[in-house]
Structure 1
Amino acid sequence: MGDANTRILDGPPTTPPPKGEPADHPATEGRWARLRSPRTPRLWFEILLIAVSYWTYSVVRNAVPEQKIQALKNADWIWQTEHSLGIAVERTVNHAVDSVTWLIVTMNYYYATLHFIVTIAVLVWLYRWHPGRYAAARLALFATTGIALIGYYVYPLAPPRLMPDGGFIDTLVHHGTWGSMASGNLASMSNQYAAMPSMHIGWSLWCGITIALLAKPLWCRLLGLLYPTVTLLVIISTANHFWLDAVGGALCLSFGFGLACLWYGALPHRLATVVA
């Protein structure tokens, strides 16, 4: 029955939603629920957030103590572990690709530039065409980066090119190409021993998965899948990372997507494209 006494026994009546809003609108769930509900982001806030976040990431990453001795010990351990697993082919790949000058120079520029450019491009694409999914995807990216910063602090690791007896070629220095904060004249401005996990892999996987799941043209989806694959080849060929650094980057991304799913109740690609 629907009389007032029945409603009292069943519990207090819910507060009616504001005029013009459906009963299940996030505003009726309270401020906390609203924070966890995907919304169309504000452009000025997103630009500011991304700029401040990237600056913070760079500052924190470079502020981590450069524990050279421990970083080299960890690199030796990683290298020996890969030998025991039968996957220690980085040096062979590094020397083979370095012998093709145009290819390795291209990879040097790829390593130095696309890491940032493609990530920003995907964020812009999400903001413009998938505003309802943008916040969740952005949270996954930021959480991935945040957990990586912890990794840089607790596990300093020298890249293969800095191993004194590793026999690797620092391709940027060898070919005199511009652009990487990890080699050459810019090396003093960047932490050289923050190789684990690889955010080139973490970020490129985030881009690739996002594009592959949300883009409509088949060719675009294929490019999304190809991007992290080529990035993996690049970081190995330029001797900037071990295979296991890439595994670390993938694990960080898993954490990022897991947190986004927990916060928003679904993975980014399963949320509505547009929020009213």
Structure 2
Amino acid sequence: MATPTTYVASAVVSAVTPLASAPPEYNSEPAWKLPGWAEPVIVTSILFFACFYTRRKYYSVFSSKAPYKSLLDAQSYEFSPTSSRSSSSGDSSPSREGPWSSDDEDESTGFSTSKNLPKQRNCCGVIILTPNSSRFAENWHSRVLYKFPFLMEMFYWILTYAIYRVSHILSQEMFSDDIWDTAQANGLSVLAAEQFTPLRFILPIQEITVQKWFMNGHEGLLTFLNKAYALIHIPGSVFFIAWYYYSAPTHSIFATVRRTVTLCNFLAFTVFALFPCMPPRLLPKEYGFIDTVRRDDAQSVWMSGKFVNHLAAMPSMHFGWSFMIGCTLIYHSGVLGCVGLSYGGRKGKSVQIVGKWWKIWYCALGIAYPTMILVTIIATANHYWLDAIAGGLVGAVALLCNRVFLVLIPLEDLLLWVLRIEKPKPNCGASRR
């Protein structure tokens, strides 16, 4: 008996015209392949090098010669509903202006830290009391965090991956055995929207045309793109967070980018669960797409196995991440200072933290990286054009709404209390140098 999903899939399939000719052949010899352990070692090395490089060199976990300093040490005044938020890093106010900067989520409304009084957090305009974990500052795990504060970023990465797994499981539970039919219908509906709506004037070049161009006479370049798709996304994203943790002028600005990236992931995970979408490479062969990454034996260890959601084409987080990275690099270069988009902002003097050649490099890389990823995801048949557009839109929404995560600060206070850990003052940006 046909299900409603089957009827939807049939209707969408009939709307998109399969290729009249046979699918193109891709007979490239398998390129070199990294051993299975190489990618985890690369990512782990980046993370631990970041921990080591941003450590507090003159602080000993075992026998500290300097007093432990927590996030609360810079705030010694009594709480007042009219008091303003103070900086825990002591940075000047101009660096906090501009569309990318905001008050750090690690800074709290004024409160006294004497005698371990409860923290007073402002949550949606309501002042609530949370446990003060400063009494645990000398616990061994608190001291380890103070020595290596980047470990906190690693913890949030693990939490984000856990939520990705939950979205995958939730999607499978919601659509049960029909998930592949539903995902195929959704994928074909994306193609139909590109080909039979006004979007065809905005996207005149079809995905299959791009892939055919690379497979007919440009196989070597396609092999490079296959490797780029498999091996750059995860290590590159991890390296970006590690680099910006050190390079951002203040932790407040870094936290804004980190919250934006995290919210972008959460929004994408929600779409993955509610709108499973089959990528072009998994569509029936009569539509002509070839899974060149796996034909070239170039798949990543992170993108195979049961822990990967293969029906998560919409939106494209490959492009969404690269788009956010590109915007951050251009912003970091300072070339947009003439329009007030700089670390100084419109109200303050533009703050330039890189030299001329570095400015050119960051700007060029900020344009080239997302452009390369866009070409890659289309040429390898892993995403549709609309996936990339949706990825960019999700990133823009995340930037505008990233402060929504500030409402979770009380939960972080409770978690730290349960774990008997005092969160240390961040060691990045100008506060480190």
Question: Normalized against structure 1, the TM-score is what?
Answer: 0.78
**1:204-230 Cα distance to aligned partner (Å, 9 max, x none):** 111111111013321222111211111
Q: For residues 255 and 219 of structure 1, do their structure 2 counterparts lie closer, same or farther at Cα, with a shift above 3 Å needed?
A: same
- Partners of 1:198 and 1:245 within 8 A in 2: yes
| RMSD (Å) for aligned C-alpha atoms | 2.9
Q: 1:135-154 residue pairs with structure 2 within 5 A?
A: 135-154=255-274
Residue aligning to 1:44: 151
Matched, 1:115 2:233: yes
Matched, 1:95 2:227: no
Residue aligning to 2:344: none
Residue aligning to 1:132: 252
- Partners of 2:332 and 2:362 within 8 A in 1: no
Q: Tell me, which stretches of 5 or more residues in structure 2 are unaligned?
A: 1-74, 78-82, 87-106, 112-119, 124-145, 334-353, 407-428
**1:58-93 Cα distance to aligned partner (Å, 9 max, x none):** 423432317111111111111111112322510010
Superposition deviation, residue 247 in structure 1: 1.1
Superposition deviation, residue 263 in structure 1: 6.7
The SS at the match of 1:239 is coil
- Partners of 2:214 and 2:222 within 8 A in 1: yes
Question: Quick one: distance in 2 between partners of 1:255 and 1:74?
Answer: 23
- Partners of 2:168 and 2:309 within 8 A in 1: yes
Matched, 1:168 2:168: no
Q: For residues 91 and 144 of structure 1, do their structure 2 counterparts lie closer, same or farther at Cα, with a shift above 3 Å needed?
A: same
Aligned match of 2:312 in 164, 169, 194?
A: 194
Superposition deviation, residue 159 in structure 1: 0.6
Question: Quick one: distance in 2 between partners of 1:27 and 1:82?
Answer: 47
Aligned match of 1:250 in 392, 395, 406?
A: 392
- Partners of 1:111 and 1:235 within 8 A in 2: yes
Question: Quick one: distance in 2 between partners of 1:150 and 1:220?
Answer: 32
Q: 1:1-276 residue pairs with structure 2 within 5 A?
A: 18=76, 25=86, 29-30=110-111, 31-32=120-121, 42-54=149-161, 56-63=162-169, 64-65=171-172, 67-84=179-196, 85-86=199-200, 87=203, 89-99=206-216, 100-130=218-248, 131-164=251-284, 165-179=286-300, 186=304, 188-215=306-333, 216=354, 217=358, 218-260=360-402, 274=430
Q: For residues 145 and 262 of structure 1, do their structure 2 counterparts lie closer, same or farther at Cα, with a shift above 3 Å needed?
A: closer
Q: Is 173-182 or 200-209 further displaced after alignment?
A: 173-182
Question: Quick one: distance in 1 between partners of 2:307 and 2:108?
Answer: 47
Q: For residues 24 and 115 of structure 1, do their structure 2 counterparts lie closer, same or farther at Cα, with a shift above 3 Å needed?
A: closer
- Partners of 1:132 and 1:274 within 8 A in 2: no
Superposition deviation, residue 256 in structure 1: 1.1
Question: Quick one: distance in 2 between partners of 1:73 and 1:24?
Answer: 51
| Larger helix percent | 1
Q: How many residues align?
A: 243
Superposition deviation, residue 168 in structure 1: 0.9
Superposition deviation, residue 28 in structure 1: 5.3
Task: Kindly name which structure, 1 or 2, has the bigger radius of gyration based on alpha carbons.
Answer: 2
Question: Quick one: distance in 2 between partners of 1:250 and 1:69?
Answer: 27
Q: Tell me, which stretches of 5 or more residues in structure 1 are unaligned?
A: 1-16, 35-39, 265-272
Q: For residues 176 and 118 of structure 1, do their structure 2 counterparts lie closer, same or farther at Cα, with a shift above 3 Å needed?
A: closer
Question: Normalized against structure 2, the TM-score is what?
Answer: 0.51
Question: Quick one: distance in 1 between partners of 2:152 and 2:192?
Answer: 46
